[in-house]
Amino acid sequence: MHLAKLVTPLTRQTLSGDVYKQLSDLLMSGRVMPGEQLSLRTLAQGLGVSVMPVREAVHRLLSEKALVLLPNRILRVPTMTVSQFREITKIRIHLESLAVSQAAALVEEPGLVEIRSAHERFALEMSAKKPDESNLIALNKELHFAIYRQAQMPMLLEMIESLWLRIGPILNYDFRSGSARVTEHVSVAHHERIINALARRDASGASQALAGDLQGAADFIVSAGVLLADDPAMNPEAPVRGAAKPQPSKRSGPKRLDVIA
């Protein structure tokens, strides 16, 4: 059999996987916002690839509920209600606490070095006179997953990643808001407690510090009114009182999506 017939499918799968990873990172790092509309063509142009691997990656993200396709064929970053956000937060606390507990039992010095390095870069950015929001978000994600990888539980890591896909665009409002949580370096303090507990192999202490970090951010986001109301009698797209309705990004390109199917 001709070699090209063997390698072409693998090349295509690899390209689609690379596109999926980049789009996933956009979502987990909060670089796209809830309600933002996306275009296959615009994404393909930005990534320098054809539409096909983008379509394949988007299909996967749709199945994971990280993106939604509206009846009018518009592709959009999902919005979330207060109850959905609280439910995901509870699940995250359980899963991520498990990862941190396991990490405390297994982490070795190279792992601690990686974690401390990520924390130092995050703390340095946070202490800047005008922190770069996008950098803060990326460094926070890098630090958390540096910790979770030490648990050596790949299936658990996949579960955590799937939740970050769905919650990332909303969760990162915490860093974009310029709130007291940012100016008072609240996350830095939580991270320091987690890292100190890991160094002591204190699974309980690490879990408690992690739960405090996640719950504190979640409580702030709920109080900020950026989530949708739960009342089904209301317009499902109407935000909680005081919140601005999510707007599509001006850079998102054409509003109408090329047909996915």
pLDDT tens for residues 189-221? Answer: 999 999 999 999 999 999 999 999 999 999 999
**Contacts (Cβ under 8 Å, ≥6 apart) of 137:** 29, 30, 31, 172, 175, 176
Asked if pLDDT for residue 244 goes beyond 80, the answer is no
Instruction: Give the DSSP H/E element, type plus range, for residue 222.
Output: helix 203-224
Predicted TM-score (pTM) of the model is 0.81
CA 256 vs CA 40, 43, 71, 150, 202: distances in Å: 9, 13, 11, 42, 51
pLDDT tier for residue 227 given thresholds of 50, 70 and 90: very high
pLDDT in tens, 20-55: 999 999 899 888 889 999 999 999 998 889 999 999
Q: Could you tell me how far CA 110 lies from the centroid of its own chain?
A: 25
Q: Tell me how far apart the alpha carbons of residues 103 and 206 are, in angstroms, rounded to a whole number.
A: 9
Q: How confident is the model at residue 103 (pLDDT cuts 50, 70, 90)?
A: very high
Residue 1 confidence (pLDDT):
41
Contact 176, 211 (CB under 8 A): no
Check residue 241 and give its pLDDT.
Answer: 41
pLDDT band per the 50, 70, 90 thresholds, residue 72: confident
Q: How confident is the model at residue 15 (pLDDT cuts 50, 70, 90)?
A: confident
Of residues 156 and 247, the one with the higher pLDDT is: 156
pLDDT of residue 258: 42
Confidence of residue 231 (pLDDT cuts 50, 70, 90): low
Q: Is pLDDT at 180 greater than 60 in this prediction?
A: yes
Per the CB < 8 A criterion, the answer to whether 58 and 40 are in contact is yes
| Average pLDDT score, the chain | 84
CA distance 179 to 196: 26
* Start-to-end CA span in the chain (Å): 31
